[in-house]
Amino acid sequence: MKRECAGFGLAAACVLGTSLLAGPAMGQEYPNKPIRLLIGFAPAGSSDVSGRVVARKMSEAMTVPIVVENRAGAGGNIAAEITAKANPDGHTLFWSGVGPLMVSPALGVKLAYDPVKDFLPVGRGVVFCNVLIANQQLAAGNVRELIALARAKPGQLNYATPGIGSAGHLGGELLKSLTGTDIVHVSFKGAGEMITNLVGGQVQLAFVTIIAARSFGGSKVKVLAVSSAKRDPAMPEVPTFAEAGVPGYDATFTYGLLAPAKTPAAIVTRLNRELLAALADPEVNKQLGNQGLVPAPTSGEEYGRIIRSEHEKWKKVLAPLRAKGEGGLM
C-alpha cells in the first residue's frame, strides 16, 4: 500500500511539475516576442514610411520591437502571401495598400492567397490621394478643358504613373471611366523620371503624390486636381475632381493593418487599440502629414467593409483592362 501511495504521489508530482512548466507558455501574454511587420514595397516610399512611423509608436506601448520587413514585388502580393501563410499568433502582421486586397483581384491576377478569407482586418491607418499635373504647353488649364481636349483627340493624350495597379494608374482609369475618354497610360519607374518626361513634353499628364506635386509645382507644371473626395489639407488650394467637373470622382487610397486569418480576437482587439492610440499621437500625425498622409483610423470591422467596397469599385473600373488581359503589376 505504501508503495502504491508513493507511486501515486510521484506521478502527481510529475503532472503538477509539467503543468507548472506548461502553464506560463500556454497562458503567456501577447506579445511575447518581436512582431514582424511586412510591407510590400521597397524602403522610402509612402507605404514604407507610414508603416514604420506607426510601427515605431505601437512598439512603445506593446513593449516589444516591431520589426519592419520589406518584401517588395508583384504590387505587394508577395508580402500578402507571406502574411496569409504565417502563424496566426499576432506576431506577423501586414501593412497593406489597395493592391493586394482590392486591385490584384479586380485585375484577375492569379493569387496564392484569398484576399478576403486569409486575412483579418485590424484597422485602417491612413488615407492619401494623388494629384493630376499637366505639361505647361498642354492646351488645357483645368479639368473641364482637359476632358474636352481628350474627347476631341481620343488616344492622342497620355498620362504617366509609377505602373499598373499603382494609385496613379487607378486614378487615371477612374477618370477615363467617368468621362468616357481615351487617354493612354504610360508607366515609369519613379516620380523623378515621370516629371522629367512631363516637363520635356514626352507625356502630357501625370498622377503624382502630394509631395511630388509640391516639389515640382509652380512654373514647371500645371496642377489640375486632387484625386480625393475632399480637398487635401496639404494642398487646400487645389480643387477635387468633383469640384473641377467630374461628379462622383473619388480615388482616395488607404494603408491599413491586417493579421492572418484565425488570429485570436483578443489579439486583434489589442492591435486595433494600439493602432488607434498611435494615430492619435501629435508627433505621428506630424510625420505622416509631412508625407502627404492623413490619419484615418477605423475599427477592424469598418476596415473590412472598406476593403470589400473598394474591391467592387475597382473591379468595375478595371474591367476593360481585365478583358484585354492587361493585368501585369508593378
194 and 183 together in one domain: yes
Side-chain-side CA neighbours of residue 76 (13 Å): 26
Q: Give the tens place of pLDDT for each residue, 77-110.
A: 999 999 999 999 999 999 999 999 999 998 889 9
232 and 258 together in one domain: no
Q: Give the tens place of pLDDT for each residue, 162-188.
A: 888 889 999 999 999 999 999 999 998
* Dihedral pair phi/psi, residue 37, rounded to 5°: -110, 115
| Residue 57: pLDDT over 60 | yes
116 and 143 together in one domain: no
Which of 4-18, 164-178, 182-196, 263-277 bottoms out in mean pLDDT, i.e. has the lowest? 4-18
| Residue 140: pLDDT over 70 | yes
Q: What is the mean pLDDT of residues 234-253?
A: 96
Q: Would you say residue 236 lies in a domain?
A: yes
Residue recorded with cell 504565417: 86
Closest C-alpha to 205, from 245, 231, 238, 172 = 172
Share of the chain above pLDDT 70, in %: 89
Q: Would you say residue 330 lies in a domain?
A: no
Q: What is the mean pLDDT of residues 146-168?
A: 95
**Are the beta carbons of 151 and 121 closer than 8 angstroms?**
no
CATH of the domain at 79: 3.40.190.150
Does 56 or 29 have the greater pLDDT score? 56
**Are the beta carbons of 314 and 306 closer than 8 angstroms?**
no
281 and 217 together in one domain: no
The 3 state secondary structure assigned to the chain is CHHHHHHHHHHHHHHHHHHHHHHHHHCCCCCCCCEEEEECCCCCCHHHHHHHHHHHHHHHHHCCCEEEEECCCHHHHHHHHHHHCCCCCCCEEEEECHHHHHHHHHHCCCCCCCCCCCEEEEEEEEEECEEEEEECCCCCCCHHHHHHHHHHCCCCCEEEECCCCCHHHHHHHHHHHHHCCCCEEEECCCHHHHHHHHHCCCCCEEEEEHHHHHHHCCCCEEEEEECCCCCCCCCCCCCEHHHHCCCCCCCCEEEEEEEECCCCHHHHHHHHHHHHHHHCCHHHHHHHHCCCCEECCCCHHHHHHHHHHHHHHHHHHCHHHHHHCCCCCC
Q: Give the tens place of pLDDT for each residue, 196-220.
A: 899 999 999 999 999 888 876 556 7
Containing structural domain, residue 298: 35-127+252-324
| Residue 148: pLDDT over 60 | yes
Query: Rounded to whole angstroms, how far apart are CA atoms 45 and 42?
Result: 7
Q: Indicate the pTM of the whole model.
A: 0.86
Q: Would you say residue 21 lies in a domain?
A: no
Q: What is the mean pLDDT of residues 116-131?
A: 97
40 and 107 together in one domain: yes
Q: What is the mean pLDDT of residues 14-25?
A: 38
- CB-based contacts of 78: which residues, under 8 Å, 6+ apart? 40, 71, 72
Q: Would you say residue 259 lies in a domain?
A: yes
122 and 134 together in one domain: no
235 and 268 together in one domain: no
Q: Would you say residue 107 lies in a domain?
A: yes
Q: What is the mean pLDDT of residues 147-162?
A: 96
Measured CA to CA in angstroms, residue 56 lies from 22, 127, 137, 142, 148 at distances of 32, 19, 45, 41, 47
Last residue of a domain, one of 244, 266, 292: 244
- pLDDT computed for residue 3 by the predictor: 43
Q: What is the mean pLDDT of residues 115-122?
A: 96
Between CA 174 and CA 127, with CA 204 as vertex, the angle to 5 degrees is: 40
- pLDDT computed for residue 156 by the predictor: 97
- pLDDT computed for residue 238 by the predictor: 96
- pLDDT computed for residue 20 by the predictor: 39
Q: Would you say residue 305 lies in a domain?
A: yes
Q: Would you say residue 28 lies in a domain?
A: no
Query: Rounded to whole angstroms, how far apart are CA atoms 226 and 129?
Result: 7
Q: What is the mean pLDDT of residues 245-262?
A: 97
Q: Would you say residue 141 lies in a domain?
A: yes
- pLDDT computed for residue 6 by the predictor: 43
Q: What is the mean pLDDT of residues 268-297?
A: 97
* Dihedral pair phi/psi, residue 71, rounded to 5°: -120, 80
- pLDDT computed for residue 218 by the predictor: 59
147 and 236 together in one domain: yes
| Residue 241: pLDDT over 60 | yes
283 and 267 together in one domain: yes
Does 311 or 326 have the greater pLDDT score? 311
Number of domains composing the chain: 2
